[in-house]
Amino acid sequence: MSKIKRGRVIAVWLMIALIFGVILIVGRSLMPAKVVATLENYEPWETQVVEAFSQLPMQEGGRIKLFESWANQQMLSFSGKRKSKVSNGEGEEITVRPTEWMLDIHFRPELAKQFPSFRVENAEVLEMVGLDHKKARDYYSYNELEAKLDRISELKKELEELQKNPEIELNTVQKQALALSGNLAWFESYLSYFDFAKLRADNEKSGLAWSSIILTAPKIRAAINQRAPNAPLGREELLIGRLVQEASNAARYGWPVMPPTQEGQEAWETAGARLWEVFTTGKNDLVQTSKIFNQLEEIYLHRDASGEKLVPLIKAYHDTLNKEQTVAAKASNLSAEKSYLKGQWFYRALGYCFIPGTLLVVLSWLSPATRWSRVLNLVTWGLSGIGLILCVTGIILRMVITERPPVGNLFETIPFITAAIVLIALLMELMTRRGLAIGLAPIAGFAGLVLARLYELEEGGDSLEPLRAVLASNFWLTYHVLTITLGYAAGILAGFIGIAYLGNRHLGIAEDDPKILRSLTRMNYGVICFTLLLSLIGTILGGIWANDSWGRFWGWDPKENGALMIVLWNLIILHSRIGGAIKEWGFHMLSVAGMAVVVFSWWHVNMLGTGLHSYGFTEGAHIIWFFYGLIGLVLLLSSYAKMLEKK
Amino acid sequence: MCGSIGKSMWRLGVIIIGIVSLCSCKKREEVIAINQTRQKSTIDVATTTEATSLERFRGKKAASLQKALPVAPPHPEHWKPQAATQFRLLNFATERGVEIYLSQVRGGVEGNFDRWMKQFGQTALTPEQFSGLPKLSFMDHEGRLLEVTGPFAGGMGKTPIKDAALIGAGVVIGADTWTMKMIGPREAVLAEKDSFIQFVSLLKKNS
Amino acid sequence: MTSFRSILSRTLQIFSGLKLATACFIVLFILTWLGTLEQVDHGLYQTTKKYFSSENFLVLPEINGKMIPLPLPSAYWVSVVLFINLLIGGVIRARKGWKKVGVLMSHCGMLFLLVGGFITHHFSERGNMQVWEGETSNVAKHYFNYVIEITELVAGEIKEIHVIDHEYLEVLKPDQHQFFKLEQLPFDLEVAGYQKNSVARQAINRAPRFGERIVDGFYLEQEDSELEAETNIAGCYARLVEKDSTKGELFILWGGSAYMQPKVQKTIQHGERTFLVDLVKERWVLPNKIKLNDMKAEFYPGTINPKTFESRVTRTQEGVSEDVLIKMNQPMRRDGFTYFQAQWGPQGSDGTGKLFSVFEIVKNPADQWPKYALYVSGVGLSIHFALMLGAFIMNQFKRRNV
């Protein structure tokens, strides 16, 4: 085997090793769950019922969203998954998605208690709550944890006490224990949420139900108010008081089912909160409240009925909500959210386009500049193009949902940057037609969307949540945030081109075309200039924004510093090239290192836990170090190869 | 060529360092004359009364509470002072979880002792039992000392302790009842008993 | 004479060289990086002061609290060098021509930005003003600087306020005494034991550990500087000195007194006359009055996420009033002063009840300069980039047609 061919094989193996490395490190959280439990007689929900529930609107976290969104968030934060599998005891595997899981908890609590809903990642957490630790990253059901509830609530108290001390920061184990106890409390509120409907279920003949008692609330309140001042409450009064309290407490937290009926009120309420208000302050529209209670009771009564019976009941409630002003105003946002959830755009772009695209690119390295590789390139082109379209569709739908520019939080930077890199790579391929830039598109898409998925799973939460006051400026979000983010994208692309150059040079993938190295250099020069342009303008724009919102142009905040570092790094590259201090090889080496600078600015400064931009992804440190390590390895290997060249 | 550039660099360096060191060597003067004034602003409203140090550093409210405070002797090194509150005029804690604090309360010594007994799930003291309690000097008056052990039921936002102890002293001076108590895990509390009694008996009433 | 000229021209050569530019960028890069990491341990204020201000010439960086024996020039001085380099090499001596017009423009923009930074660093002032709804204020407090203010009280009214400036105080070490000759007052003041961050401790709670002087039951205990330096509370011992050099009684001045409600001040009787003495954050009296008419804080429904907060104020200057809305991202700029919506309170409020608003007030002669710098350099870089891209595409096109 000639030296050159050996180089190609090495490149292919390196790439395959990298892909497997990524899958090994992050794959566990990306793979769909295995069967985790056996639930005897588990009956899956009918598709039409799930569909009807998932599209119910609700207001939560400050925005109107779909039930499915809420269920997604909840399942993610409880179990770190988007779906689970259970066996029904007869060897049948049933996939349970978030909406179904939520329905089980609300309508079949006894079944839901057996469902392994809680992720307990850490053996130490298990030990803390006094459970036998089978193995780390395990799932537990409510029933399994129930015996330890006392210990857990005790633990919670202790940890909350600790938390009050500003000098103590909880460690990961303690944080997880606290999160577990929080999740358990939420789970319990969901389990008892529909208890209010049991009154009707138990008194079907007499028709006694909260939906009808609500209408008598003014009379009850009047009777109580008519008492002589300071007279003790009578037996009936005490009884009704206790009943109201019990029913409202059981549904106090959880699903906000009640749109506001009071003038000037914007927030939706839970059934329990509304019930309590009706009997205490009494300012709500009773007819509307009773109507919704009635619809919810109907749904509960027919929870086990067939879809034909149940779906119209859900639709009736849905119709009532649709007439609400808060929902009607957001109709187009909700339908965009429906398409966004249904489409799973980023996930599909990854699975259908970028992963196969990456594999094709790797294959094409085996025999470059042949007809075979040209065909592969063409297919890669198509796949990347489709991937880009899917990605952009997802981004646009998010813009419609949130009514703001595409990047408003850390999560949104990921698909945006990914799409930008793929787009620039495709444009460059159009301009150069050398089959070089095209190779970068699917690899960048692959890496970016894996990161996006991982971030979602790690962080949970609602990445569509509305913006905080300081960020709520569409003008600045468009001009500053988009430029700076595009600057990141360009900086990363420069690094990719640098790696491509180094790979080609040392491993001789494209030895047939000597001009290829020069071409890569020219390309990278353009990209570095582009990075400088965007980061410089973006950084100054950020300063101007800061000058308008905080009163200073520059404050040495970590995120600001990160942006400045990108600018300086690119100035170093360009000026040392013009000054002749570096040649081609040095230029690419510095642009690869520049990728680390971008990552420092994009992610690392947020993890320092200081400054004005400190948000999110504190758990992702290991990925960053993996990335730094990778870049260091590339630089080291390349330096070694350069030394060999000289000899 | 190279040499001369190096030389000029060197000279330049000397000049820069010279300038910088001239700039940075400002000597502090022994007497500074002050002529600077500023305009009166909206927040420059005078207070009418003269404020004591206590009022200036703790606020008027806290100061009026503290004025009645007894004069405390030096406390043991391992009693860490905690922020005083309305109910804890002197407040300490040890690393082993013992809380030690002085309160001015209502209800007489006997009433308070009974309340403490109940927190430990025990019945109130009979008059005979009470008069049999050991005596000690507490703010120059004759006070009583109570020692209870057992499970502490908690209450008032405190977490229950299974094997707890309380050592407390109480005294009535004029219309006020004063108590000083120590509560926490049994062994840790008992270990502090001598220091506690010594501290309490050295407390002096503020004149 | 020739040698002087040659030295001059060579010096000029070095100062205008690309190598110096690159070296400046590298040092600035390293400084920015280290200055970011060090914030974790030492807070923004101290780190910024250490790395980026004109006070230090050399910086000894730390990583994870460990000193690195690699002295670096501070960013301020590197920027000065960079400025000279850019002016001589990047503008005056740079090759000119149509192809270079973009680069030249961007260099000019950067020069402008550096000058703006210089002016901001030396000539801008900032402070914050807290106003309750319905109340009026014309004063801002400095974030960090402590001053001693002395004023006479005549029939319950405050007279002229005499100020001992922060620059005299903050250079004092705890073991130093300083005599201040108050030329317009009937006495002088001696200050000792000045501490940048301190706690006034009551001796009955904890005996002094380092032999601190107890005055009136209190002593000052030294504290490490806070990570957020604006929360430092200065303190000092002081005494009156009569004009005939007899010394009065020692007393403590502590910055924490300013936070006590109701207001408390140190009063001094001097013969028949009464004076007030205080150690307070430097006050900055503004040429106009701000009345807060309404403070509105809105949250996203059902959450504690702020949606917006805004203040409706009436600004009065020389008898002329105007109503202005100040909110996040929408400051009020008047006569060289800028008022920003910074915070609101009281803490934990849900936006109902009586609120106060905190405005950040900045006077910066170079306030809008970055914007102009951006226009110049942005256009310049875009032109340059467009020219290069055009050439690149043309080149590709030609190649393909060959």
DSSP state of A258: B
Nearest to A469 among C51, C301, C328 (CB): C328
Q: What secondary structure, in 3-state letters, does C310-356 show? A: EEEEEEEECCEEEEEEEECCECEEECCEEEEEEEEECCCCCCCCCCE
Q: Does residue A45 carry a pLDDT above 70?
A: yes
B14 and C126 Cβ atoms separated by less than 8 Å = no
Is A526–C388 a contact, with Cβ atoms under 8 angstroms apart?
A: yes
Q: Provide the chain B residues 49-78 that lie in CB contact (below 8 A) with chain C.
A: 50-60, 69, 71-72, 74
For chain B, list the contacting chains (3+ Cβ pairs, <8 Å).
Answer: C
Is C264–B12 a contact, with Cβ atoms under 8 angstroms apart?
A: no
Greater model confidence, C135 or C3: C135
Residue of B nearest to C282 (CA): B38
Nearest to A605 among C36, C305, C367 (CB): C36
Q: Tokens standing for B6?
A: 């190096």
What CA–CA distance (Å, rounded) separates A135 from B96? Answer: 34
Q: How far is A27 from chain C (nearest CA, A)?
A: 31
CB atoms within 10 A of CB A32: 10
Determine the Cα angle at A606 with ends A602 and A610, to 5°.
140
C4 and C47 Cβ atoms separated by less than 8 Å = no
Q: How far is A255 from chain C (nearest CA, A)?
A: 12
Q: How confident is the model at residue C75 (pLDDT cuts 50, 70, 90)?
A: very high
| Chain B neighbors of C137, CB-CB under 8 A | 41-43
Is C307–A565 a contact, with Cβ atoms under 8 angstroms apart?
A: no
Beta bridge partners of B102: B90, B180
Q: What secondary structure, in 3-state letters, does chain C show? A: CHHHHHHHHHHHHHHCCHHHHHHHHHHHHHHHHHHHHCHHHHHHHHHHHHHHCCCCCEECCEECCEECCCCEECHHHHHHHHHHHHHHHHHHCCCCCHHHHHHHHHHHHHHHHHHHHHHHHHHCEEEEEEEECCCEEEEEEEEEEEEEEEEEEECCEEEEEEEECHHHHCCCCCCCEEEEEECCCCEEEEEEEEECCEEEEECCCCCCCCCCCCECCEEEEECCCCCCHHHCCCEEEEEEEECCCCEEEEEEEEHHHHHCCCCCCEEEEECCEEEEEEEEEEEEEEEEEEEEEEEEEEECCCCCCEEEEEEEEEEEECCEEEEEEEECCECEEECCEEEEEEEEECCCCCCCCCCEEEEEEEECCCCCHHHHHHHHHHHHHHHHHHHHHHHHHHHHHHHHHC
Is B37–C163 a contact, with Cβ atoms under 8 angstroms apart?
A: yes
Q: Using a pLDDT cut of 90, give the percent of chain B over it.
A: 20
Q: Provide the chain B residues 79-98 that lie in CB contact (below 8 A) with chain C.
A: 81, 84, 90
State the Cα torsion B62-B66-B67-B73 to the nearest 10°: -150
What CA–CA distance (Å, rounded) separates A540 from A553? Answer: 8
CB atoms within 10 A of CB A41: 8
For chain C, list the contacting chains (3+ Cβ pairs, <8 Å).
Answer: A, B
Q: Does residue B23 carry a pLDDT above 80?
A: no
What CA–CA distance (Å, rounded) separates C101 from C114? Answer: 20
DSSP state of A42: P
Q: Which of A221-225, A587-591, B124-128, C380-384 has the highest mean pLDDT?
A: A587-591
State the Cα torsion A367-A372-A373-A377 to the nearest 10°: -160
| Sign of the dihedral through C-alpha A5, A9, A11, A12 | positive
Q: Provide the terminal-to-terminal Cα distance of chain C, rounded to the nearest Å.
A: 59
State residue A20's pLDDT score. 76
Is C202–B34 a contact, with Cβ atoms under 8 angstroms apart?
A: no
Residues in CB range of C201: below 8 A, 6 or more apart:
C208, C218, C219, C220, C221
- pLDDT per position as a tens digit, C242-285: 999 899 889 999 999 988 878 888 888 888 898 999 999 999 99
Q: Does residue A189 carry a pLDDT above 90?
A: yes
CB atoms within 10 A of CB B83: 7
Q: Which of the residues A550, A603, A604, A615 would you substitute to probe the C interface, choosing the one with the greatest number of C C-beta atoms within 10 Å?
A: A550
Residue of B nearest to C207 (CA): B74
Residue in B121, B198, B190 with CA at minimum distance from that of residue B153: B121
Mean per-residue pLDDT, C293-298: 90
What CA–CA distance (Å, rounded) separates A128 from A122? Answer: 10
Greater model confidence, A121 or B41: B41
Q: Is B46 on the interface with C (CB under 8 A)?
A: yes
| Chain C neighbors of A73, CB-CB under 8 A | none
Q: Is C382 on the interface with A (CB under 8 A)?
A: yes
Q: Which helix (H) or strand (E) holds A119?
A: strand A118-120
Nearest to C11 among B8, B54, B81 (CB): B8
Is C32–A565 a contact, with Cβ atoms under 8 angstroms apart?
A: yes
Q: Using a pLDDT cut of 70, give the percent of chain B over it.
A: 77
Beta bridge partners of B164: B150, B185
Residue type, A81: K
Is A568–C307 a contact, with Cβ atoms under 8 angstroms apart?
A: no
As to burial, measured by CB atoms within 10 angstroms (0-12 exposed, 13-18 middle, 19+ buried), residue C392 is middle
Is C165–B36 a contact, with Cβ atoms under 8 angstroms apart?
A: yes
Q: Does residue A570 carry a pLDDT above 70?
A: yes
A50 and A322 Cβ atoms separated by less than 8 Å = no
State residue B18's pLDDT score. 60
State residue C135's pLDDT score. 93
Q: Is C284 on the interface with A (CB under 8 A)?
A: no
Alpha helices in A433-514 (DSSP H): 437-459, 474-476, 482-507
Is C266–B51 a contact, with Cβ atoms under 8 angstroms apart?
A: yes
Residue in C188, C183, C192 with CA at minimum distance from that of residue C253: C192
- pLDDT per position as a tens digit, A310-366: 999 999 999 999 998 888 889 999 999 999 999 999 999 998 999 899 988 888 877
Q: Is C316 on the interface with B (CB under 8 A)?
A: no
What CA–CA distance (Å, rounded) separates C170 from C187? Answer: 22
Q: Would you say how long chain C is, in residues?
A: 402
Q: Does residue A11 carry a pLDDT above 50?
A: yes
- pLDDT per position as a tens digit, A405-415: 999 888 999 99
Is C308–A578 a contact, with Cβ atoms under 8 angstroms apart?
A: no
Is C7–B8 a contact, with Cβ atoms under 8 angstroms apart?
A: yes
State residue B3's pLDDT score. 43
| Chain C neighbors of B28, CB-CB under 8 A | 171, 176, 178
Q: Where are the domains of chain A?
A: 35-194, 195-301, 478-647
Q: Is C266 on the interface with B (CB under 8 A)?
A: yes
Q: Using a pLDDT cut of 90, give the percent of chain A over it.
A: 43
Residues in CB range of A416: below 8 A, 6 or more apart:
A395, A406, A407, A482, A485, A489
What CA–CA distance (Å, rounded) separates C53 from C47? Answer: 10
Q: Is C102 on the interface with A (CB under 8 A)?
A: no
Q: How far is B43 from chain C (nearest CA, A)?
A: 7
Q: What secondary structure, in 3-state letters, does A122-177 show? A: CHHHHHHHCCCCCCCCEEECHHHHHCCHHHHHHHHHHHHHHHHCCCCCCCHHHHHH
Q: How far is C149 from chain B (nearest CA, A)?
A: 9
Q: Are strands C273-299 and C306-317 parallel, antiparallel or unpaired?
A: antiparallel
Beta bridge partners of C322: C315
Q: Tokens standing for B42?
A: 């909206």
| Chain C neighbors of A526, CB-CB under 8 A | 388-389, 392
What is the overall mean pLDDT for chain C?
Answer: 88
| Chain C neighbors of B84, CB-CB under 8 A | 205
Q: Which of the residues B9, B52, B53, B204 would you substitute to probe the C interface, choosing the one with the greatest number of C C-beta atoms within 10 Å?
A: B53
Lowest mean pLDDT among A37-46, A456-465, A608-617: A608-617
Alpha helices in A55-113 (DSSP H): 67-79, 98-107, 109-112
Is C18–A579 a contact, with Cβ atoms under 8 angstroms apart?
A: yes
Q: Within chain A, how many helices (H) and strands (E) appear?
A: 30, 7
Q: Provide the chain C residues 203-242 that lie in CB contact (below 8 A) with chain A.
A: 227
CB atoms within 10 A of CB A231: 8
- pLDDT per position as a tens digit, A417-452: 999 999 999 998 888 777 788 889 999 999 999 888
State residue A595's pLDDT score. 95
Beta bridge partners of A63: A60
DSSP state of A197: G
Q: Does residue C24 carry a pLDDT above 80?
A: yes
State residue A85's pLDDT score. 84
Is C254–B46 a contact, with Cβ atoms under 8 angstroms apart?
A: no
Residue of B nearest to C13 (CA): B5
Q: How far is B97 from chain C (nearest CA, A)?
A: 19
Q: How far is A550 from chain C (nearest CA, A)?
A: 7
Q: Provide the chain C residues 291-310 that lie in CB contact (below 8 A) with chain A.
A: 299-303, 305-309
What is the overall mean pLDDT for chain A?
Answer: 86
Q: Does residue B157 carry a pLDDT above 60?
A: no
For chain A, list the contacting chains (3+ Cβ pairs, <8 Å).
Answer: C
Mean per-residue pLDDT, A555-561: 90
**Which superfamily, per CATH, for B79-202?**
Mog1/PsbP, alpha/beta/alpha sandwich (3.40.1000.10)
| Chain B neighbors of C13, CB-CB under 8 A | 5
Q: Is C6 on the interface with A (CB under 8 A)?
A: no
State residue A68's pLDDT score. 95
Q: How confident is the model at residue C351 (pLDDT cuts 50, 70, 90)?
A: confident
Q: Provide the chain B residues 136-175 that lie in CB contact (below 8 A) with chain C.
A: none
- pLDDT per position as a tens digit, A585-607: 999 999 999 999 999 999 888 88
- pLDDT per position as a tens digit, C42-73: 888 888 888 988 888 888 888 877 888 888 99
Residue of C nearest to B24 (CA): C55
| Chain A neighbors of C51, CB-CB under 8 A | 556
Nearest to A553 among C39, C120, C329 (CB): C120
A203 and A211 Cβ atoms separated by less than 8 Å = no
Q: Provide the terminal-to-terminal Cα distance of chain B, rounded to the nearest Å.
A: 88
Q: Would you say how long chain B is, in residues?
A: 207
What CA–CA distance (Å, rounded) separates C291 from C138? Answer: 9
Residue type, A165: N
Residue type, C274: T
Q: How confident is the model at residue B62 (pLDDT cuts 50, 70, 90)?
A: confident
Q: How confident is the model at residue B1 (pLDDT cuts 50, 70, 90)?
A: very low
